[in-house]
Amino acid sequence: MKNQPTTPSIFCYGEVLWDIFPEGARAGGAPFNVAYNLTRMGIDAHMISRVGNDKLGNDLMAQLTDWNIPTEDSQTDLVYPTGTVIAHIDEHNEAHYDIIQPVAWDFIEFRDDYTQKVSDAAAFVFGSLITRNATSRNTLFELLEIAKYKVFDVNIRPPFSSSEVIKELLYKSDLVKMNKAELRLILDFLNKEYTTEDDGIRFVQDTFSIKEILVSKGSKGAVYYNENARFEAPAVPVTIQDTVGSGDSFLAGFLSKRILNADPEEIMNQATALGAFITSKEGACPNYTIEDFENFRKKNDPTWKTI
């Protein structure tokens, strides 16, 4: 039996990019946001991605270094530019996103040194947006063959992922995280009418033999299904500053306790608390320490103790 690392690591795979807002640029990408918040929770998080050989790419790698996320697993593309997403704000103050393509993260190549790292990792996190290009999609499927705990953060972004690819990924996943809209979309893919949340989740779980499903429901909290039971957690009430990245931080909070085999109630409380904490701040990756987060938890749950 191979030796396991003493500190659990999590590898996140997919897009790193700059979100270009009218007021400026922010580092982003769903798997990147997950890695950032995992690092803040004290988890050894790594990012497999690809940036361009340009200033934006250099700035992104500098950002990873500044946030203590290793850059050794990310690649540099000599042809395609670093990924960007252009945010447009409409008259109702709603944001709409133009995800530029093709960009460097569309061309992530498999590397031999990933094999040991990903197979040793406590979890491997990925989404569906990264499958829009064959190169990164094929690398993902290679990595899924060696990962031991596969975490699918659905993140459907039409027109960038097909129902057939989504189904393939569901079959390969151990834990699937989605929101209510994505649950309904997946049921539509399966020609299954939505009746109740419980029925819909169990149908997806049974269809794809998924051990765990996690559904975020915004102000209505979240629900977690494993093979034996369901666990519901209410939302933590906060004054919302920014909802960008709230689902990513929710998943990071969940995984930070799940890989340590905490009990389901504590796992869910950590997930909803971190999602709420990030929502109360601006941006998907605000600057904070684990002590800031623990103080937030104590304030919102007087019975909570550091574990």
DSSP-assigned letter for residue 66: H
Q: Is residue 60 part of a domain?
A: yes
The confidence score (pLDDT) of residue 235 equals 84
pLDDT at 39: 96
**pTM, rounded to two decimals:** 0.93
Beta strands in the chain (DSSP E): 9-13, 17-21, 24-28, 44-48, 50-52, 75-77, 83-89, 95-99, 123-127, 150-153, 175-179, 212-216, 222-225, 230-233
- What's the number of domains the chain is made of? 1
Side chain identity at residue 228, one-letter code: N
Determine, yes or no, domain membership for 307: no
Residue 199, in any domain of the structure:
yes
Q: Is 226 exposed, middle or buried (0-12, 13-18, 19+ CB in 10 A)?
A: middle
Does 302 fall in a domain?
Answer: no
Instruction: Assess if residue 246 is contained within a domain.
Output: yes
Can you read off the two tokens belonging to residue 216?
């975020």
Closest CA to 245 of 212, 214, 280: 280
In a domain, residue 122? The reply is yes
4, part of any domain: no
- The pLDDT profile of the chain, 307 residues, written as one tens digit per residue, is 344 445 799 999 999 999 998 888 999 999 999 999 999 999 999 999 999 999 999 999 999 999 999 999 999 999 999 999 998 777 766 667 899 999 999 999 999 999 999 999 999 999 999 999 999 999 999 999 999 999 999 988 888 878 999 999 999 999 999 999 999 999 999 999 999 999 999 999 999 999 999 999 988 899 999 988 999 999 888 787 777 778 999 999 999 999 999 999 999 999 999 999 998 888 788 899 999 999 999 888 755 555 4
Buried b (16+ CB within 10 A) or exposed e, 141-153: eebbeebebbbbb
Please state, in angstroms and rounded to a whole number, the distance separating the CA atoms of residues 136 and 129: 10
CATH of the domain at 209: 3.40.1190.20
User: Which residues form the domain of 219?
Assistant: 9-297
Task: Tell me how many degrees the CA angle 12-17-22 measures, rounded to the nearest 5.
Answer: 140
* pLDDT of 305: 56
The whole-angstrom separation of Cα 38 and Cα 60 is 18
Residue with tokens 């009990």: 263
- 306 found inside a domain: no
Helix, strand, or coil (residue 150): strand
In the block, residue with structure tokens 């979890």? 123
Largest Cα–Cα separation, the chain: 60
